[in-house]
Amino acid sequence: MFSLFYGLWKYMFSKTEFHVLILGNDKAGKTTLLEKLKSLYSNLEGLPPDRIVPTVGLNIGRIEVSNTKLVFWDLGGQPGLRSIWEKYYEEAHAVIYVIDAACPSRFEDSKSALEKALRHEDLQGAPLLILANKQDLAEAVSAEELARYLDLKKLDERVYMFEAVSAYDGMGIKEGLEWLVDAMDRSKRTQMLRARAGDLAEAVSAEELARYLDLKKLDERVYMFEAVSAYDGMGIKEGLEWLVDAMERSKRTQMLRARAGVTGPASA
């Protein structure tokens, strides 16, 4: 049911939508990044850094880049909250992992949390953008230095990039996001998520399905088979228009109206 309404939404807005997780330790600058993304790519003014409080649970942000809609899930990074991360892995197209590049004492914890996330089967193949954040601070290490320190062996198995950014002043954010959108467009994981939503190349036609099902009981009622994709919306509008018309003409609708004491057409 969710997939059907999601497909209808896709039809109405006809833009590709990607879900992106923003992960990282607490105080790494994840929510500051989300607010900066809002201010860079939308008419919404993001919260100033001095008004941002630690995330307990989830922050959601939506922006548009070219013809692409991005939905960000910014999850709390405190050790006690990281157990909820995996609940969002399955539907994520990609991951942005934020590291405080000005705090080497927490690099090991960041590395450990990232490695654990990458080992999870529900994140298999997800493009990864690692942000060496807080480049506005003099003590921040470069993206190259951070990459050497982390030495993440698992990264050889997926598309990834390190980017030096400042979530405070916006430096490097657009470059990193442009790379991520392109990576998601090309990702096999994106293809897999589309397939899961019903956009399968090998799907049989509505006519073939009707012949296979051979539902004798359907001779007793008004019915129609329609070929649709709940992912991109193909065929949903046509099917829904037919259904609304069928309900208006249906004897069952008349019966239900009579039961409710309604004699005329249903009011809006």
Q: pLDDT tens track of the chain, all 268 residues?
A: 555 555 555 555 556 889 999 999 999 999 999 999 999 988 777 666 666 766 767 889 999 987 889 999 999 999 988 999 999 999 999 999 999 999 999 999 999 999 999 999 999 999 999 999 999 999 999 999 999 998 877 676 789 999 999 999 999 999 999 999 999 999 989 888 877 766 555 566 777 777 777 776 666 788 888 888 776 677 888 889 999 999 998 888 888 988 888 765 554 4
Do the bridges between strand 58-65 and strand 160-164 make them parallel or antiparallel, or are there none, so unpaired? unpaired
233 in a known ligand binding site = no
Specify whether 139 is located in the same domain as 236: no
55 in a known ligand binding site = yes
198 in a known ligand binding site = no
- State how far the Cα of 174 lies from the Cα of 112, in Å rounded to an integer: 27
Specify whether 106 is located in the same domain as 165: yes
68 in a known ligand binding site = no
195 in a known ligand binding site = no
Do the bridges between strand 16-24 and strand 160-164 make them parallel or antiparallel, or are there none, so unpaired? unpaired
| Domain of residue 92, CATH code | 3.40.50.300
Specify whether 212 is located in the same domain as 109: no
Which domain does 240 fall in, by range? Answer: 206-260
| Angle formed at CA 138 by CA 175 and CA 170, multiple of 5 degrees | 25
Identify whether 78 is a catalytic site residue. yes
Specify whether 157 is located in the same domain as 231: no
Question: Total domain count for the chain?
Answer: 2
Specify whether 104 is located in the same domain as 236: no
CB atoms closer than 10 angstroms to residue 231: 19
Specify whether 176 is located in the same domain as 215: no
Residue of 78, 124, 191, 254 marked active site? 78
